[in-house]
Every structure is written in C-alpha cells, then in structure tokens.
Amino acid sequence: MPKQTFFNLPDQKQAVLLQAAMNEFSRVPLHDASIANIIHEANVARGSFYQYFKDKEDVFYYLLETHAKQSQESLLLYLRKYDYDLFKAIPNMFTWMLEKFHERTNRDFFKQAFLHMNVKVEQTFSFRLRKEELQREYKRLIKGIDKTPLNYDTLEELHHIIELVFSITMHNVVHSFARDLTIEQANHRFNMQLSLLKRGIFKREHV
C-alpha cells in the first residue's frame, strides 16, 4: 500500500505517477522495471518516489489490486443479475475480465503481470486471502450462491468446488495471454473446460 504522503498528493499528480508506473510495468516484468524510468516520466526526484512508495512492488501491487477489486465486483454484479447462479455469473465475469485486460491501455500491463505471475499475483486476484476483509467476501459468496445444482456432500467439497472454478478461471486468463488468444478463442476454451468440470470427465459407471 502506498504511504499516506502519496494520498496527500493532488489527484492530478497521483494520476501522473500511476500512469508512469503503469507504462514502465507494461514494458518489462516487475523485476526488470526501473524506478529511474518511472520518476523520469513522472518528473519527480528519486527521493520523492520513496516518500510515496516503499518500493516498486508497492506501487505494482497497488495497481494490480485496483483492477482485481473491479473484477471481484463484476462477479458480485453478475451474481445478483443471475439469481446467484455461480455458473452463469462466472463465464460473464471471465468475459468481462478478458475484455478489460485486453483493452489497449491495459493489455501490456496485464500481459507482463500474468506471464510473470507468482503466488502473490494470483492471490491478489483470488478470493482465498487471509485478509479478513476478503475472507468476509468469500464467506458471503459461499453463503450467497445457489447450491441446488451442485453435486457435493460435505462443506469441504463445496470449498474445493469453488477453488476448482476459480483456479480454472485464472488459468484460462493466463493462458489467453500466454497463447495470445482472441477473446472468442479464450471464451471457447474456458466454457468447454467449465462444462467438462460440471458434467464430470468420467462416465457415470466408472466413477
């Protein structure tokens, strides 16, 4: 999280800083990004950068979290729209994410982020976080969704169902960048995998 000093800045200057960071993170992966480039483009001194952020990870994950939150909100939106049917909401969220991530201004940033994804990046995008705030979100999700179509016995199995769905979703987002898929191709893949998951990959008599 950026320091208070950053949030005290006039909005205009905040925006310039974030845009400069975004540009740099769009150019190269996080570890190769250079603070020198960011401060040069934003026209601030090196020392100032460290007044605002702990380091480059700080501003990177701040940018990422902003987008992650929007993705989660889009899920909640679609859930409400489709009577809490998770499997109607999820493909809609997936498309929403793809469209957002592939926008001209975002594309390279997300490409760098996802192709050099690590556990922390993944968790930023997932509901499964230790932070109490998101734990609450997760519990609300579990409580809210329509469970009638789901095939599970224990609560533990339900958790695993959710985890499977989200992990397949993220995997497909990453894949869309790794293989440079069009939104249509990515949707096709994702829906196929989701329907395989729904109906099961084993014939009835073999389970």
Are 5 and 51 a contacting pair, CB within 8 Å? yes
Distance CA 137, CA 76 (A): 10
52 binds, among DNA, its own copies, none (CB under 5 to 8 A by kind): DNA
Q: Which of 18, 20, 21, 56 binds DNA (CB under 7 A)?
A: 56
Residue 69: which of its own copies, DNA, none does it interact with, CB under 5 to 8 A by kind?
none
- CA separation for the pair 28, 41 (Å, rounded): 16
- Compare residues 4 and 154 and give the one whose CB is closer to DNA: 4
Among 44, 89, 117, 174, binds DNA (CB under 7 A): 44
CB count within 10 Å of CB 136 equals 10
CB of 34 to its own copies, least distance (A): 14
CB 76 within 8 A of CB 87: no
Instruction: By CB under 7 A, tell whether 18 contacts DNA.
Output: no
Number of Cβ within a 10 Å radius of residue 180: 8
Question: Where do contacts with DNA occur on this chain (CB under 7 A)?
Answer: 4-5, 8-9, 33-37, 44-48, 50-52, 55-56
